Amino acid sequence: MKIKHAINLHKGLTSIVVLSLMSAYNNFNLAAFIYLALHGGYGILWLLKDRFYPDKQWEQDFPIGTVIFTFFVIGLYWIAPFILISSGSEPSNILIALAVFINLLGVFFTYGSDAQKYYTLKYKTGLITEGFFARSRNPNYLGEILIYVSFAILAQHWLPFVILGGFITGIFVPNMLKKDKSLSRYPEFEAYKAKSGLLLPKLFPTTTPILQEN
């Protein structure tokens, strides 16, 4: 069973889960609807992305137990809307504006870089060193982190930040390091690595000095 089935099911159910929480707690304030639009919209966009330019890493087959476990693990992301909606918390206008702005940046980096990677590798193999990937080797992960930071901001609670930190240290960073190891087979990788950051864009690239023999 493909691991993407667990991920896609989670993304597709997010709108339903948030709406159910709103109904269960009779909370239909602005913050709840903003959260529904951002997180629910993110899930719908994910399903569209999987339809138009799927990510190969999610196409791998795993035992059904692993797929079920994955679904429950990523279900931890639903704690943020639970906290926000069950508490009746109403973030300030500044926090809402900040969350929406960060979310838009995250969506831009995630879906833009995934599209670039998919269509570039479809017609040409090798390193991608321009566009979204010019200064960051993992703009898709950067975008996803920004997206979930925006959800945590709306929840106004430390727990969603801790959960996101767990995903970053337990999944994102190992995957990024694994990708670096794979890309190191290309002779031009070291030069690319010097001018790009693992996650955050490197604004001031370092240059590797060339040693000359006398």
Q: Taking residues 151-176, what's their average pLDDT?
A: 98
Which band of pLDDT confidence, cut at 50, 70 and 90, is reported for residue 96? very high
Q: How many CA atoms lie within 13 A of 172 on its CB side?
A: 21
Q: Give me the pLDDT at residue 209, please.
A: 46
Which band of pLDDT confidence, cut at 50, 70 and 90, is reported for residue 57? confident
Which band of pLDDT confidence, cut at 50, 70 and 90, is reported for residue 204? confident
Question: How would DSSP label each residue in 152-191?
Answer: HHHHTSHHHHHHHHHHIIIIIHHHHHHHHHHHTTSTTHHH
Q: Taking residues 156-181, what's their average pLDDT?
A: 98
- Return mean pLDDT, the chain: 94
Which band of pLDDT confidence, cut at 50, 70 and 90, is reported for residue 208? low
pTM attached to this predicted model: 0.93
Tell me: pLDDT of 211 over 60. no
pLDDT digits (tens, 9 = 90+) for 119-141: 999 999 999 999 999 999 999 99
Q: Taking residues 23-37, what's their average pLDDT?
A: 98
Tell me: pLDDT of 193 over 80. yes
Query: What would the two tokens of residue 136 be?
Result: 């960051």
Q: Give me the pLDDT at residue 207, please.
A: 60
Q: Which residue, among 147, 140, 130, 133, has the nearest Cα to 56 in the 3D structure? A: 140
Tell me: pLDDT of 206 over 80. no
Q: What percent of the chain has pLDDT over 70?
A: 96
Q: Taking residues 43-72, what's their average pLDDT?
A: 93
Q: Which residues of 115-131 are buried (b: 16+ CB within 10 A; e: fewer)?
A: bbbeebeeeeeebbbee
Q: Taking residues 13-20, what's their average pLDDT?
A: 98
